Structure 1
Amino acid sequence: MTKSARLSEVAKLAGVSPGLVSRLINDDPRLKIRDETRKRVESAIEMLQYTPHASARALRSSQTGLLGFALYHVTDPIYAQMVENAEAAATAAGYSLVLLNASELAANPDALRRLAQGRRVDGLLIQGGYAQAHSSLQVANTMPTVLFNADPLPGFRTVRLDDAGAAALATRHLIELGHSRIAFVGAEGSSSERRYQGYLTAMVEAGLSSHPPIDGGWEADTARAVTERHFGNRAAVTGLVVVSTTSALGVHAGLIAAGLRVGHDVSLVSIHDTWFAPHLSPALTVAAMPLGDLGRVAVEMLLEQIRDRGEGEVILDSPATRIVHRASSARPADEDPR
C-alpha cells in the first residue's frame, strides 16, 4: 500500500511553508498569494496526490481525528521543522493536523468557541507567549488543550524551550569572542522576555553592563527598519543577540543598510536556526534549540490530554542548545590580539 503524502512534503516540493499550503487548501479568505506560487502548490499537490483526510476513527466514534495547531505567524519559515515533526507525530497516532491562525482566534473568541462547542477538533495546540492570547485561553480550555511557548498557567498543560538558557549561551559566545558592549534585540511576549533575562544573566555573570532591550519585533521588515534607525552610521555596541532568526534576517539587512559590516563592526547571533541562516552573507551564527522536537512533544502531550486531562509545565531542554558558529560573529575589530 502506498504511503499517503504529508502536507510538509507538499510544502517542501513547492518551496513554501507548510502553513501556506494549509491555508490554501482550507481556502483562507485572508491569504494573499501570487498566481505563480498558487500554481506551484497546486502542481505539488497533484504530483504527490496529497489528500487532506480525517482519521477513520471519525466514522466509528464522535471523535474527528483532527488536532488543531494554532500559530501566530503560521507562514514563518522558522516553524517548518516544528510543524513537520508535529504532523508526523499526529499521523503516527492516527490523527491529522489542521493549522490555524492564532491571531484570528485570539481576536475572535466566538470562532474559537464554535470550534470547541462544535467538536471540530479533538484537541488544540495553541501558541502562548503573546498578550492577545489571554482573551481566548479560557475558551480554549473547554477542550483538551496544550499551550506551547508559554509561561506556566494554572489549569493548563504547557511546554516550552529553555529560552533563557539559549540567550545566555548566545551572549556568552559573544563574550568569549571578546565583546563587552552587547545588546539584545527583542519583541513583545513572554518568550522574548525570557530570552532577555538569559542575556542579562550572562552579562551580570561576566561583570558587564547590560542595555535595555531594543524592540525589533518578530518580523524581518520591522527589525530591519528598527535597526537602521537605531544604529544609523555608527554602532554603539559590537555584539547583538537577536530574539529569533526571522528577526535576525531583518537586523542583518538593517546593519548593512546602515553602512555597518556584519561580523566586523557588529557581530550577530540569533536564537533558533532555519534553512536560510547559512545562506546569508555573512552566514548567521545561531543558538540552535530543539524547536522541531517541540512540535513532536506538544502533540504527544495533547494526546495525553485527550485521554486524561491534567496540568503542569514541561521545559524541553534535550537535546541541549548549541552554538552553530558562522561568519556573522567574530572578535571585535578593535580587539587587541595579544
Structure 2
Amino acid sequence: MLNDDPALRAREETRQRVRQAVKELGYQPNRIARSLRTATSNTLGLVIPNFENPIWAVVVDGAETEADARGKTLIVASAARTPGRVQQFLDLGAHGGLDGILIATAGQTDTPPADAPVPWLLLNRRAEGSRRYLLLDDEAAAHRATTALIDLGHTRIAHLSGPAHAESAGRRTSGYRKAMADHGLAPGPILEADYSFTGGNTATDALLAAGAETTGVVVANIASASGLLVGLRAHGKHVPDDISVIAIHDHPLAGAFDPPLTTVSMPLFEMGRRAVALLLDTDPQDAIEETIPDGIELIPRASTAPPKA
C-alpha cells in the first residue's frame, strides 16, 4: 500500500490513513525484508588493490556516481587489508548481500569461476579463460608518455614499470617499447616497482645505477613517480634539469608534487562509471571484452624539459 500498488484493493480513505500513520511514526521501509521479497540487495561490491594509490579514489567516484543514479549502494574494500577479499565478497553475494562485484585487483587467483553466485567484472585486467573485463588503453598511454619525452629531445629514456604480476604493467611496458622503436631508439633500462610511493622510492638506486646517462623516465603510475621524485632529490638529482619524469595517470595531487608532475591522464572516472553500467545492464553469462578508447591526454607540468646539451 505504501508503494501505491494498484493491485491492492483498498479505499482511498484507508490509504490516506496509512500514509498519515507512516508520517507520524517516522516509519522507514526495512531494506532487508524488501531484499528478501525482491531477491536483490541493491548493493554492489568493489574490491581495489589498496587505498594508498590515489587513482582508485577517482575510479570509486565514477562507480559510486553510476551506482547512485541506479539506486544502488556501493561497498568498497581493499584486497591488501584482508587476504581472500574477493572470495569474501563472493560469499556475501551468495547469501544475498551483494547483487554484483567489480574486481580491480591484479592477482589472477582473484578471478571468480564462471558459475559464481553473483555477476562480476574485472577492471583493467584480463585473466586466462575469462571474457568479462573492462580495460583502459594502457599501451596507448605509455606510448603517449614516451613520445612526449622524445618530442622534447630525449633519446636515453628509462622505464619504471609496474609489478610483473600486473597485466596493466605489461601493457604499459609494451607501449614504452613501441614508442622507442617507432622513433628508431633502443629501449633504456626497464625496472620493476610496485604501484606505490615506497615502490618508486626503493627503485631509485637501481634506476640510477642501471642508466647513468638516462635523461628521462617514464613511470607507470603517479604513486611510484612520487616516490621516485623524492628518491632523486635525495641523490642530489634535480628534476627536470638532470632528469625528466613523466607518469601515467593524473590526479590533482600531481600538481602539488615538487616539481609538479607531468602526466598522461586516463579515463579513470569513466572506467568506474562504465563498469557499474556493464555489471547492471548485461547478462551474467555474456562476454564483456571492452576497452575504453578515449580520454588519454598529456598534462604538461614542470617535471619535464628538453635534456641538457
Work out whether 1:151 is the aligned partner of 2:126: yes
How far off is 1:139 after superposition? 7.8
- The residue number in structure 1 matching 2:305 is 330
Distance 1:64 1:288 in 2: 35
Give unmatched runs, 5+ long, in structure 1. 1-52
Distance 1:153 1:310, change over 3 A: farther
Distance 1:241 1:54 in 2: 49
CA contact (8 A) 1:288 1:323 kept: yes
Distance 2:136 2:67 in 1: 20
CA contact (8 A) 1:86 1:296 kept: yes
Distance 1:209 1:302, change over 3 A: same
How far off is 1:151 after superposition? 2.3
Distance 2:68 2:34 in 1: 13
Normalising by structure 1, what TM-score? 0.76
How far off is 1:236 after superposition? 3.1
Q: Per-residue displacement from partner, 1:247-278 (whole Å, max 9, x unpaired)?
A: 11011111111111111110010000012111
Q: Which amino acid in the other structure matches residue 89 of structure 1?
A: E
CA contact (8 A) 2:193 2:200 kept: yes
Distance 1:256 1:179 in 2: 20
Give unmatched runs, 5+ long, in structure 2. 1-29
Distance 1:143 1:247 in 2: 34
Distance 2:151 2:86 in 1: 47
Normalising by structure 2, what TM-score? 0.82
Distance 1:282 1:313, change over 3 A: same
Distance 1:138 1:211, change over 3 A: farther
- The residue number in structure 2 matching 1:186 is 161
Work out whether 1:169 is the aligned partner of 2:140: no
Match of 2:240 among 251, 254, 263: 263
Larger Rg: 2
CA contact (8 A) 1:102 1:127 kept: no
Alignment of 1:255-334 (within 5 A): 255-305=232-282, 307=283, 309-319=285-295, 321-334=296-309
CA contact (8 A) 1:106 1:135 kept: no
- The residue number in structure 2 matching 1:25 is none
Secondary structure of 1:137's counterpart equals coil
Match of 1:220 among 190, 197, 200: 197
How far off is 1:84 after superposition? 1.0
Percent identity at matched positions? 32
- The residue number in structure 1 matching 2:76 is 99
Distance 1:133 1:106 in 2: 13
Distance 1:136 1:153 in 2: 9
Distance 1:108 1:276, change over 3 A: closer
How far off is 1:125 after superposition? 0.3
Distance 1:81 1:54, change over 3 A: farther
Work out whether 1:122 is the aligned partner of 2:119: no
Distance 1:106 1:302, change over 3 A: farther
Q: Which amino acid in the other structure matches residue 76 of structure 2?
A: L
Which one is further off, 115-124 or 227-236? 227-236
Q: Per-residue displacement from partner, 1:286-338 (whole Å, max 9, x unpaired)?
A: 01111111100011011123x5531131100223x11111110000012xxxx
After superposition, the CA RMSD in angstroms is 2.5
Q: Per-residue displacement from partner, 1:153-200 (whole Å, max 9, x unpaired)?
A: 544321011000000000000000000000110122110110000000
CA contact (8 A) 1:54 1:66 kept: no
Distance 1:125 1:140 in 2: 16
Work out whether 1:74 is the aligned partner of 2:57: no
How far off is 1:80 after superposition? 1.5
Distance 1:108 1:169, change over 3 A: closer
Distance 1:274 1:56, change over 3 A: farther
- The residue number in structure 2 matching 1:13 is none
CA contact (8 A) 1:269 1:328 kept: yes
CA contact (8 A) 2:189 2:211 kept: no
